[in-house]
Structure 1
Amino acid sequence: MNKNSFGMKTARLALLTSAGMVALGMASAYAQEEAPDSERKMDTVLVTAQQREQNLQEVPITLQVLSADALSTLAADNMGDIDAFVPGLEVSDGSPTQPKYKIRGIQTSDFGVGTDPAVGIYVDGVYAARTGASLLAFNDVERIEVIKGPQGTLFGRNSAAGAVSITTRKPSDKFEAELGVRAGEYNKQRVEALLNLPVNDKVAIRLNGVMNKRDGIYTDAATGQDLGREDNWAIKGALRWDLTPDTRAILTYTHDELDQDARPAIGIVNVPDAPGQPAYPVDETAYLNPFNAQVRNDVINNSEARELDEIDLAITHDFGSFTLASTTAYRTFDTNNREDEDGTNRIDLYFDTENVESNESFYQEFRATGETGPLNWVVGASYYDESADQRSNTFAYTDTINTALGNLGLGTPFSDIDNFVLIPFGIDARLLGNGWREDMINHGDFKAYAAFADVIWEVTDKLSLTGGVRYTKDEKSFSWLNGPRVAPELDATLAALEEAGILGLVGASPEDFQFDLVFDMSGLAGVPCDNGVTVAEGVTCELNDDWSNVSPRFVVDYKLADNILLFASYAKGYKAGGFNSVEQASRFNNEDVTNYEAGIKSTFPSAGLLINASVFQYTYNDKQAISLVSGVNGSNVSQYVVETSDEEASGVDLQVEWGPTDALSFFGNVQYINVLYKDRVTRSGIDLSGSPTGEPEWSFAFGGQYVLDLQGNGEIEFSASHAYTGERRCNAESDGQGSCATYASFSVGESQERTDIRAFWTAESGRYQVGAFVKNVFDNRYVSGINNITVGTQGTAFVGLTDPQMWGVDFKYVY
C-alpha cells in the first residue's frame, strides 16, 4: 500500500471515529440535561427484527429499514434497485431467476438446488425457498428490514450473513383504492392497482396487482433485435377474518409471472470473419472496450421465465397472558433461464446454458409470544419440507465441439471428415452443423426441523439482558444423473456412414463420437454413492446426509438515557450443508459464523437527529464458494466446483438522519469492512490465506429531501440520493474468476457511484401525485464481471454491464 492510500484510509477511519465520539459526547450531554418541552417529535419506526413488534431504536441489532415511501422515491421495482443505497447489502439481479444476495461480504455464489443461500429472504415471515423465488416484484410493500449479521436464533437456518424481511400491507377496516402508473425511457411501463374492501366489521379483502415492462437496453448488431427486455406481472389477494375478538386469520394468495430476455452476453474478444478464429489462448491485452463493442447474441429461444404460486395462512389467538401464532405456507414455482455463453453469433463458437427448475415447498411454524413480569419471551417450533428438481442443459453445435477439441490439442475430427472425405467425394452428409446437448439432472428432497426460544429480561429500567437459542436439524437427499450426450441428427448421420463403410475407411466408428465434453465425469468413475452404485454415465448417483446445529445469541443493552441505547451482542448463524449440483458425488458440511457486535442507538428530538453506530467482528467457518476451475476430474473443460474456506472480518456501520426543519431532512449510511481469508487453498494450489476476499472496504449512501409547501395547492417534494461502493480488493485468483482485474480498455471491480433524483407534486387532498425521476443521473456504467466459462475452450470471454441512466414520470391516484 502506498503512503497516499494509507493516509486516505487513516483519514476515513478518523472521520468515523470522530462521528462516534460526537455521538457519545451528545449522548453524555443529553443524559445530563432534559430536552426542552418544545422539542420536535421524531417518527417511531416499528420493526419485527426480533420476532416481536418493537421500536427500531430499541432493537439491539444493526439494521436498515426502507419504507414504502423510500421505495417510491427510488422508483424501485425489486430488491436489485435498492441495494446500492443500503451499505453492506449487494444484490446481483442480472438473472432474476438466479439472483445472489450478499450481506457484509457473505454470499452463496452457487446457482444449484443442492446449495442453500447464506442470506435469508422472508416475506411476511415466510422463508423464500431457493433464489428462484427470492427476487419478486414489489407490490403493496409496507417496509423492508435489512438485518445485518447472523440471525440463526431469530430467523433460523440459511441466515448466516443476515436476513431481508419484507412486510406487506394487510387487509384493513378502511376502504382504499389506489392506481399508480409509471412510464419512462426504453418504453418503460409499470402499472400497480390496489383495492382494500372491508366487507363487514370482521372481514376485509385486499387485492393488489402490478405489471412491469421495458424494452431492451441493447440492440443486436446483426439482427437489430432488442436485448435485455423486461416483462413481469404479479397479483396478490388477502382475506382477513376476525373469527372472534381474540382470533384473527389472514389467508393470502400470490401469483407471479416473469417472461423476458435472458441477460445479454457482451463479447470482448475480437472475432475475425469466418472461418477465422479468435486468439487462443485468449489474449487479455486485446480485450475490446465493452462500452462501445457491438453486441451479437444468437442464443436459441432466448428467455428467462418464472411462474410462481403461493398460499399462506396466518392465524393468531390472544390468550391474554400470551399470543399464539401459526404460519402455514405452500409455495411452488417453475423457472427457465437460457443464456448466451459465448458473446458471438458464430456457429463454430456457439454455446448456451439452460437452467430449468421446479420447486415445491411447505412451511409450518408455531410461535408463542408474551410477557411474564420482567420477561418478554418468544418460543416456537417449525417444520420445512422442500422438493427441488433442476436440469442444467448445455447446448452447442458439432462445430463448437470441433473448435474446442482443436484448441485443446485433441484434433478436429468433424471438419476433417467433412472436408477430406464427405465433400471431395460428393457424399450428401455432414458431421458439422448438428446439435450437441449435454445434461446434468438433479433432484433433492430436503427437510428441516427447528425449535427456538428468545427471552428479553428487563433487569432494571435501564438494563436488559437477552438470551436465545435455536436447534435445527436438516435432512437432505440429493441425486445426479448425467446421461450420454444428445445429438440425434449426428448419430443418424454416423450410423448411415458406418453402414456405408465410409467411417471404416478413416478408421473411425460411431462410438468414437460418444463422449461428453462439458460434463465429463470420467475422473469420478468408481466413486461410491449412497444408493449402492458408483459414479458412471447414465447412472443415478444419490447421497443422503443430515446436519444439526445450535445457534445461540446473547445481548446486553443499557439505556444511557430514554433515547440512547448502548448494546453488545454475541450471535451465531448456520447454513446447512449440501451438494454441488454439477459435480457428482460431492458434498460439503454446514457453514457457521460467529459474530461479536457493539453499538449505540440514539435520537435527539430537539435537534431532529438520529445517530446509530456499531462495530462488528466475525469468523466464518467452512464457507462454500463456487469457482470456475479447469482440469477438474480429468476434464479439460472449465467446470464449476465448490471450494471451502474460512474467513474473518471486522468493520463499522454508521447511520445518521437529520431533520433540521420539518421541511428539510438528510440521511447518511456508511459501512467499512475488512474481509480476509483466514484459511483457503484453491484446487489449483493457490494459497489465499491472509488475502482479501474481494469485498470493497468502503460503501456509503447519503441524500436529502426538501418539501415545498404551495400554500393550499399541495406540496412538491424534491429528493436526491447518492451511493458509493469502493473498489474490490483483488487477490491471486480474482482474474480467473473475472471479478477483479484491470485491462487496457476497462476495469472489473472498480469503485462505483450512482446518483438518483426525484421530484413530485402531491395535491392538498392527498389524492393525486405526479412526479418525475432520473436514475443514475450521470450515466455511470461499470463492468459487473467477466464470464470465462468458454475462455478455456473457444477463447471467448464476455461481460455484463450495469444499467445506464433511465428517466421516467409517474402518476398516482389514491381514493
Structure 2
Amino acid sequence: MSQSNLRQFSFRRAILLTGCSAAAVMTSSAALAQRDEIIVSATKRDESIQEVPLAITAYSGDFVRDTNLDDIKDLVKFTPGVSGNSLDSFIDFLNIRGIRTNDFGVGGDPSIPLFKNGLYQGRNGAAVSSLYDMERAEVLRGPQGFLFGRNAIGGAISVHTAKPRIGEYGGYAELDIGERDRIFGEAALNIPVNEYFALRVSGYGAHEDGYAENVARPGIEKQVEPEKYAGRLSALYSKDAFEALFTVEYEKRMQSGAVYRATEKGDSWDTLVDVFGLSLGGTENDIDSDQGLGEADNGEILSFGLQLDYDLGGAIISSMTGYKDHSYFYAEDFDGTPLRINDYSQDQDGKYFEQELRIVSDNEGPLAWYAGASYYKEEIDVLFTQASDEETMCQYYLSYYGFNSCSDYFAYYYYSFTPNPEGLIESNQVRGRYHGFAAYVDTTLRLSEQFDIGIGVRYSKDTKKFGIRALPIDSQLGPYFALGFTSADFHEAEQSWDAFTPRFIARYHPSDNVMLFASATRGFKAGGFGSFTVLPNGSATTYCGPFGTECINLAAGDASPDPFDPEKAWSYEAGVKGTALGGRSRFDANIYYYTYKDLQQTVTGTGGGIVVENIGDVKGWGIEGSIDTDIGEYFGVLLSGSYTGSEANNVQSICDGTDDCEGLSLANVPKYAGAGILRMNIPAGAGGIYGAAEFTAQSKTYGGAAHLDEAITPSIFDMALRLGYKAEAGWSVIGYIENLTDTEGFAGAEESGGFIPAHFVGPIRPRTFGVRMSYEWGD
C-alpha cells in the first residue's frame, strides 16, 4: 500500500472507529446481491449496518444499477413500509408508514425529506434526482431529526454518490437499450492527481419514448416520457488528519408531469355524465385529458457541496456546506377528463443554502457522543396557475337554475358576456423567505459488553416570511373556481416555530450474532402558510372562497396568508437483527407504533378554495422485516415484507364535515406489501452467469380518507427477469424483461369531490425488453 493510500485508509478507519453509537441505524439486509459488509453513515458516523438500531434499508451502488433503479423515488420499490412513486418530480405522494406530505404548495416542508451526501435536497421540483455513479442509498423509516440538518418527521431518503479514490485510476461505462427507443447511459472516470488528491467525473443521460396515449390530443407523442441529463465533478483531498470533499452537480429533467384518468365512478362523475354526457376513450393504460396548459415536468438543478473533516485525536470535527439553485416548470390536467375543469401549472425558482457543524467522539471508552448545529436559508418564488373553460363552468354550476351558458346567465341580469379566448385563468404568486437553525447532542453509555443506552435531545427553530398575491383575472367570471380573491399587492406574514425533541434508545446483544433494540423518538415538523388562499382582515375562521365578492382587489393589509401549525409525533419501535448459518443468512424484523397530531392537510375551505389545515389525530402501527440467505454455493434469495395499519380520528374537515372517515386508515397506503429476489451467480469460463428473478407486490389502496369505492387502486404484482454474463475482465451483458406479466392499470388513485371526479394517477409501464452492457476498468 502506498503512503498516500495508507494515510487515506488510516483517516477513514479513524472515522469508522468513532462510530458505534446506539443512536445508529438498522438495515433490512437489502444489500441484496452482496454478501460483503455494508457501511452506512446515516448516524453521522461510518459504521456497519449490522450494528445500528433504527429501521433502515440500504442499497449498494451495484444493486441500484443491477435492478435499473433510475431515480431517487424508485427506491420505494424494494423497501418495506414505503410506497407512492407517482413517476414525476413531486414528493407529495411518497409515504413512509402512511405519513406523507399532504400539501403540494410551498408554504410547508416535506414530511419525508431527501438528502444527498448528507445535504438536504429541498422540495417538489428540486428534491428528486437521478441515481448514477452511486456508492449507496439509505431509506430510513420513522422520525429522523437527530440524523440530518433538517427535521424528518416521517422518515428520510439519503443517497451517497461515489467519491474519488486517491491513488487509483479507473472508471466504468454503461449503456442500457430497450423498447420504445430506450437509451440510458452513464459513465464515470476516477483520476488520481497526486498522492493526496483525486478527481472523479461522472455523467448520465436517459431517454425513453412514452407509453400512455392521450386520446383527447391525437397526434401528440405518448406520455410518461423521461429525458434527463446530468453531470457531476467531485474532488477529494486527504492528508494526515484532514480531508476535504467538494462536489458540483448539474441535472436537467424534461419529462411528463403526472397523468390522470378519471375512474368513471362516483357522484362527481355521475354529475358530469348527466350535465355533459361525458365518456372517456382509450384503453386502461390511456388517458383522455384536455391538458389545456400542456404537460411538463421540466427542471434544471445546480448544486454545490463541501465537506471538511479533521481528526482531533479522540473525535472528528466536520463542516458540511451546501448550495442549490433550481428552476422548475410543471403542468398537468388534474381532473383527468377531456373537459377543461382544472388544468394546473407551477413555474418555480428557488435557492437553498445550508451549513452544518458537528463533532463526533470515538468509542474507545464507555461513553460515546456527538453534537452539532445546523443553519439553513431558503428563497422560493412560484407562479401557480389553474385554468378552466368558462362555458364548462357556467353549464356545470348554473344548469340547475336553468341556465345553459354564460351568455344566458349574464343576459338574465341585463349584462352581455364576452368570452375570454384563454378561458378562466386564475394565477397567484407566492414568495417564501425561510431560515432556521438546530442544535443537537446525543450520548451513548455502554453499561456492559452486551447492553448500552442512548439519550439525545434536539432543539430546532424555523422562521418563515411568506407572501401571496392573486393576479387580476381577464374573464368576466372573476376568481370563480380556484382562488376566490385577487390582490394588487402581496399579503405578507412572518412566523416562527420551535421545539425540543428527545430520543431514547436501548440496545442489547444476547449473543454475538443477534442484536435487540428499542427506541422512543419525538418527531416535529414546522408550521407554514397555505399557498392558495388568504384570510381577509386577519380573520381566523373565514377564508376567501370563490363565491364571495369581499375579496376582490384586496389592498395590502386587507388580508393575510393562511397559517397552519406544526406537526408532532411520538414513535416507538422494537426490533431484532442478526445472522445465522455461519453468516450466510441475515435477518431483521421490527415492530412500531406512533401517535401523530395536527396533520397538515389540504382541504376545501369555507366557501371553497384550497386551504391547508391541521386536522386530526393519527395512530399507526406495523411490522417490517426481511431475510437474505444464500442457498447453496451459487444461489441466494431475499424476501422482505411489511404490514401497515393506521387509524385517523377528528378528520371531519376532509370528509365533508361528517364522521364517515372516523377510524379509517390513511390514504394511499397498502396494508400488505412485499418484495423478493432470487439471484444466481454460476461460474462459467473467465466469469459467471448472472441471473435474477424479482417481484414486488402490494395490496389494494384507498385514494382518500373516506375509502370511497370510486378511488380504489387494485392490488399490484410486478415481476422482472434478468439473465446475462459478467466477465472477470470487467465487462458484462445482461438482458432483462420488466413487468413480465404486462400488468395494466395505474399506480395510485385520488378521491376528489365537487366538480373534480376521482381519478387514477401514474399508468403502469408496460412489459419492456432491454439489455444492459457495461465495462469497468482500473487499477
TM-score (norm 2): 0.85
2:620 to 607, 632, 649: 649
Change beyond 3 A, Cα 1:607–1:785: closer
- Equivalence map 1:224-235=2 (5 Å): 224-228=219-223, 229-235=225-231
CA positional deviation for 1:783: 3.0
- Equivalence map 1:318-329=2 (5 Å): 318-329=311-322
Matching residue's letter, 1:716: I
Find the aligned partners of 2:303 and 2:324 in 1 and give their Cα distance: 4
Change beyond 3 A, Cα 1:246–1:472: same
Find the aligned partners of 1:398 and 1:405 in 2 and give their Cα distance: 11
Change beyond 3 A, Cα 1:320–1:433: same
Find the aligned partners of 1:693 and 1:313 in 2 and give their Cα distance: 39
Matching residue's letter, 1:195: L
1:45 paired with 2:52, answer no
1:611 to 587, 592, 605: 587
Change beyond 3 A, Cα 1:379–1:581: same
Change beyond 3 A, Cα 1:674–1:263: closer
- Equivalence map 1:27-426=2 (5 Å): 43-97=36-90, 100-155=93-148, 157-173=150-166, 174-221=168-215, 222-228=217-223, 229-242=225-238, 244-267=239-262, 278-280=272-274, 291=284, 295-345=288-338, 349=340, 351-371=342-362, 373-407=365-399, 409=401, 411=403, 414-416=406-408
CA positional deviation for 1:234: 0.7
Find the aligned partners of 2:578 and 2:767 in 1 and give their Cα distance: 37
1:803 paired with 2:776, answer no
Does the 8 A contact of 2:291 with 2:332 survive in 1?
A: no
1:482 paired with 2:470, answer yes
1:674 paired with 2:674, answer no
Does the 8 A contact of 2:696 with 2:719 survive in 1?
A: yes
SS of the residue corresponding to residue 529 of structure 2 reads coil
Change beyond 3 A, Cα 1:232–1:97: farther
CA positional deviation for 1:366: 0.5
* Structure 1 match to 2:8: none
* Superposed CA offset, 1:352-406 (max 9, x none): 2111111111000001111262222211111011111121112334444444443
Does the 8 A contact of 2:137 with 2:160 survive in 1?
A: yes
CA positional deviation for 1:111: 1.3
Find the aligned partners of 2:501 and 2:418 in 1 and give their Cα distance: 62
Find the aligned partners of 2:484 and 2:591 in 1 and give their Cα distance: 46
- Equivalence map 1:404-553=2 (5 Å): 404-407=396-399, 409=401, 411=403, 414-416=406-408, 431=419, 433-486=421-474, 513=476, 515-521=478-484, 537-553=487-503
CA positional deviation for 1:519: 3.4
* Structure 1 match to 2:529: 579
Change beyond 3 A, Cα 1:97–1:624: closer
Find the aligned partners of 1:611 and 1:241 in 2 and give their Cα distance: 38
* Superposed CA offset, 1:646-693 (max 9, x none): 101121111111113332111111111211114322252122332222
* Superposed CA offset, 1:745-783 (max 9, x none): xx7222211112212211122x11111112211122333
Change beyond 3 A, Cα 1:814–1:254: same
Does the 8 A contact of 1:482 with 1:519 survive in 2?
A: no
Change beyond 3 A, Cα 1:451–1:256: same
Change beyond 3 A, Cα 1:794–1:396: same
CA positional deviation for 1:728: 2.5
Decide which moves more: 174-183 or 796-805. Answer: 796-805
Does the 8 A contact of 1:773 with 1:809 survive in 2?
A: yes
Change beyond 3 A, Cα 1:572–1:213: same
CA positional deviation for 1:293: 5.8
Decide which moves more: 310-319 or 332-341. Answer: 332-341
Matching residue's letter, 1:597: E
SS of the residue corresponding to residue 62 of structure 2 reads helix
Q: Structure 1 unaligned segments of length 5 or more: list them.
A: 1-40, 271-276, 488-512, 523-535, 736-740
Decide which moves more: 568-577 or 256-265. Answer: 256-265
Matching residue's letter, 2:428: M
CA positional deviation for 1:453: 1.1
Kindly report structure 1 stretches of 4+ aligned residues shifted beyond 6 Å: 281-284, 286-289, 417-422
Find the aligned partners of 1:482 and 1:42 in 2 and give their Cα distance: 57
Matching residue's letter, 1:224: G
Does the 8 A contact of 2:665 with 2:705 survive in 1?
A: no
CA positional deviation for 1:617: 0.9
Does the 8 A contact of 2:636 with 2:679 survive in 1?
A: yes
Find the aligned partners of 2:517 and 2:633 in 1 and give their Cα distance: 30
TM-score (norm 1): 0.81
Find the aligned partners of 1:294 and 1:556 in 2 and give their Cα distance: 52
* Structure 1 match to 2:513: 563
Find the aligned partners of 2:56 and 2:430 in 1 and give their Cα distance: 37
CA positional deviation for 1:301: 4.2
CA positional deviation for 1:624: 1.2
1:665 paired with 2:636, answer yes
Decide which moves more: 160-169 or 336-345. Answer: 336-345
CA positional deviation for 1:210: 0.3
Change beyond 3 A, Cα 1:554–1:300: closer
* Structure 2 match to 1:21: none
* Superposed CA offset, 1:405-427 (max 9, x none): 435749456444999999xxxx9
Change beyond 3 A, Cα 1:381–1:698: same
* Structure 2 match to 1:771: 734
Change beyond 3 A, Cα 1:612–1:465: same
How many aligned residue pairs are there? 705
* Superposed CA offset, 1:486-521 (max 9, x none): 45xxxxxxxxxxxxxxxxxxxxxxxxx262112343
Find the aligned partners of 2:493 and 2:131 in 1 and give their Cα distance: 38
Change beyond 3 A, Cα 1:463–1:795: closer
Find the aligned partners of 1:143 and 1:91 in 2 and give their Cα distance: 21
SS of the residue corresponding to residue 772 of structure 2 reads strand
Find the aligned partners of 1:260 and 1:163 in 2 and give their Cα distance: 25
Matching residue's letter, 2:122: A
Decide which moves more: 438-447 or 583-592. Answer: 583-592
Decide which moves more: 780-789 or 163-172. Answer: 780-789
* Structure 2 match to 1:589: 565
Change beyond 3 A, Cα 1:764–1:579: same
Matching residue's letter, 1:733: A
CA positional deviation for 1:641: 4.3
Change beyond 3 A, Cα 1:294–1:334: closer
CA positional deviation for 1:250: 1.1
Find the aligned partners of 2:361 and 2:735 in 1 and give their Cα distance: 46
Change beyond 3 A, Cα 1:750–1:281: farther
CA positional deviation for 1:616: 1.1
- Larger Rg: 1 or 2? 1
1:714 paired with 2:690, answer no
Change beyond 3 A, Cα 1:397–1:373: same
Change beyond 3 A, Cα 1:793–1:238: same
Find the aligned partners of 2:454 and 2:757 in 1 and give their Cα distance: 57
Does the 8 A contact of 1:342 with 1:797 survive in 2?
A: yes
Decide which moves more: 290-299 or 252-261. Answer: 290-299
CA positional deviation for 1:785: 4.1
Change beyond 3 A, Cα 1:732–1:626: closer
* Structure 2 match to 1:621: 597
1:698 to 659, 667, 672: 672
SS of the residue corresponding to residue 449 of structure 1 reads strand
Change beyond 3 A, Cα 1:720–1:753: same
